[in-house]
Homo-oligomer: A and B are copies of this chain.
Amino acid sequence: MTKKSKQEAQCVLPRNSILAGDCIEVMNSLPENSVDLIFADPPYNLQLRGDLNRPDNSKVDAVDDHWDQFDSFQAYDEFTRDWLAAARRLLKPDGAIWVIGSYHNIFRVGAALQNTGYWILNDVVWRKTNPMPNFRGKRLTNAHETMIWASKSEGAKYTFNYEALKSLNEGVQMRSDWVLPICTGHERLKDEEGNKAHPTQKPQSLLHRVIVGSTNPGDVVLDPFFGTGTTGAVAKMLGRDFVGIEREDSYRKYAEERIAQISPFDKSALEVSTSKRAAPRVPFGQLVERGMLQPGDELYSAGNRFKAIVRADGTLVGKDFKGSIHQVGAHYEGAPSCNGWTYWHFKRDGQIISIDVLRQQIRAEMEGRTN
């Protein structure tokens, strides 16, 4: 790295702007560990070798008969390794990346992701409702593209808005195959003559799902192959910041205009369903401290087969075992674990009520305090 770019690398990330230039150079000039999500739609046309800005590697594996073809794969692999490494440097430790491609390039990209240290979380198939048919009838209709979702490294705490995606899917878990139409109609950017402004403009619906699912409002999304700025447009709509990198002047111009016209959705509309994991933890002992349950009270298991008694320190004691609500529940069920909150019940006025109701009361009080 030159001295100049070293200095540049100290700079603050220019949020909500489109940077001109080669994406590898530009990424190397941005501060490390500064980006929450990267969405990348890299080029895959192997014929455009000159566009990769890489000298041909003269080392030829003479064992292989297809040396010329191999050489071109090699150049693409090198390019892929380089931009993936530059992107990984920018990611926060708990950040993630999405890359989209077709069978021409996605296998090389996926292998490079794994070799670079990313950890694949899912591959996701975009199933096109309206693909272009195979006119010559020589192959299957190419009706999908593949996305790879990966964290920066194994074990990282990536963002995943499970409940929000479940809501987007009528209350059942979001699957790894997404059925969405390609980008057409008014959404498709056209030039003055009515020709498409960009050959592979992605639909906003695709980015909507990616960004809702793997970022939170206020996060920064970087797109190193910005094109006409679908990533930036959807990020702005959804109250996220973006950074775009694009080499072609023409595409940048379309993207600027397009994003300027967008106004973010109202903040309350951007709140999404959250998981119980995000709710504050309530120690069972607090129910005793607050007098919602009293030492000596009896709790009954789900199914009413077991009984335990509440003690002053918030532990339970059963016939032959004592411990936390979870431990005693697990013991009686012979299970590896047990959620005591949903397992145990108390009696009041002849009714059997889950102790989780009491926890919800406490949480409601806490919310009133902080909001």
In the assembled complex, A314 has its CB within 8 A of some CB on chain B? yes
Chain B residues contacting A106 (CB-CB under 8 Å) are: 107, 110, 123
* Proximity string of chain A (112-124) to chain B, C-beta cutoff 8 Å, 1 when within and 0 when not: 0111010011111
User: Who on chain B is nearest to A203 by CB?
Assistant: B290
* Proximity string of chain A (100-137) to chain B, C-beta cutoff 8 Å, 1 when within and 0 when not: 00111011111101110100111111010111011001
Chain B residues contacting A111 (CB-CB under 8 Å) are: 107-108, 110-111
Chain B residues contacting A164 (CB-CB under 8 Å) are: 312-313
Mark the stretch among A3-11, A12-20, A218-226, A263-271 that contacts chain B.
Answer: A263-271
Tell me the chain A residues, 193-230 only, with Cβ under 8 Å from chain B.
203-205, 208-209, 212
In the assembled complex, A173 has its CB within 8 A of some CB on chain B? yes
CB distance from A17 to the nearest CB of B (A): 24
In the assembled complex, A2 has its CB within 8 A of some CB on chain B? no
In the assembled complex, A34 has its CB within 8 A of some CB on chain B? no
User: Who on chain B is nearest to A239 by CB?
Assistant: B312
Given A110-B107, A180-B289, A312-B238, the answer on whether A137 and B162 have CB atoms closer than 8 Å is yes
Given A164-B313, A181-B290, A295-B265, the answer on whether A335 and B121 have CB atoms closer than 8 Å is no
What number of A residues sit within 8 Å (CB to CB) of B?
Answer: 112
In the assembled complex, A283 has its CB within 8 A of some CB on chain B? yes
Chain B residues contacting A304 (CB-CB under 8 Å) are: none
* Proximity string of chain A (308-345) to chain B, C-beta cutoff 8 Å, 1 when within and 0 when not: 01111111010000101000000001011110000000
In the assembled complex, A365 has its CB within 8 A of some CB on chain B? yes
In the assembled complex, A360 has its CB within 8 A of some CB on chain B? no
Tell me the chain A residues, 126-154 only, with Cβ under 8 Å from chain B.
127, 129-131, 133-134, 137-144, 146, 148-149, 154
In the assembled complex, A171 has its CB within 8 A of some CB on chain B? yes
| Complex: A284 Cα to B31 Cα, angstroms | 40
Say yes or no: A365 contacts B129, CB within 8 Å: yes
Minimum-distance CB pairs A-B, first 6: A107-B110, A168-B285, A269-B295, A164-B313, A143-B175, A272-B313
Show 25 residue pairs from A and B whose CB-CB distance is below 8 angstroms, ordered by the A residue.
A65-B117, A103-B122, A103-B123, A106-B110, A107-B109, A108-B114, A111-B111, A122-B139, A129-B366, A140-B165, A141-B174, A141-B175, A167-B313, A168-B285, A169-B283, A170-B281, A170-B284, A177-B177, A180-B290, A181-B290, A208-B312, A265-B294, A269-B296, A270-B311, A272-B312
